[in-house]
Structure 1
């Protein structure tokens, strides 16, 4: 599914209005509830996410690829947590990709999520040139083209026990930075803050009972172990 930034959204608004009106009429006639397009990828105008995203993309506008709706993200993560093994991270579930406009090849900021056992080496630093960070108890590392964030997510019900032995991870990749030499610590911190805010949407959707990312993102360098 593809949506766009402010300019593209305004351009598609009229068609969306007509479509929604048709859906409402159809639902009234059939007694079915109104159809909803539910996803975690919308970036509101004048929000912190928008400011970070535009700064990271270095673009005035962008388009949005919606890889999975909210229900698919939650279902995939819950299924993977039930099946998680003792030593290796689960396959990631893709959520969104944001592309600068005008487009330049495969440039994008992409966000995906999964689980990793707390005893696994997959949660240890592995990025070339990466700097470790702490963000309100979440932790990870960030370099010029990727951020890896790990956070405790206490799941309800039958997933409570497996969630105690795993970290929820967010992986953000910034392909437009590959080959650049001007990505300083401030740029890495912006990338980390955006990954934190996108991960908050997932922890809210999952219903993490400890509300791990409720506070505003405050990114601090973590001490070297």
Structure 2
């Protein structure tokens, strides 16, 4: 049995073929194949990056639009709460690149408070301030409620609507729009009714009517 499993001697022919046999495992890709593979990888990577950038831009646009809508809603709510209890609204006016409007409201203690809004078209800033009518407007500092994202629509930023027999109250109409990174706009076009006014209330009737809150001195 031992002789049966004895290793057989290697012949000269077998040794020659073994020496000239190509090494196993050393075959690889050619330079052309590597270039093609790298080109395909670069193409796939470019497509993926383009998709990621598109998703990022869409996310920014959605966030910007949501932010502008929130800003518009806050301005709408503030105006609605203030104008609703006003007892007089002045005729809006323009000084240079700034549009102005004032109205007078009744405080919880029964006093009279002036509210003033201004829109600067050159910078797109909307601001507001208030003060007791018996005091000075210098006591009320300006608060910026919308910044340069704001732009005026084709209509005037502030207009007043005439009271009628059917609706004997002064109304303030605001026409503005807020853009979000130049993509679309959130519009604010609404009429606010001053329920404490009447056909005889001061401020609105004409440019010669006695206004409230001294706009001649305070629109500067």
TM-score by length of 1: 0.24
Decide which structure has the larger Cα Rg and report it.
2
Q: TM-score, normalised by structure 2?
A: 0.24
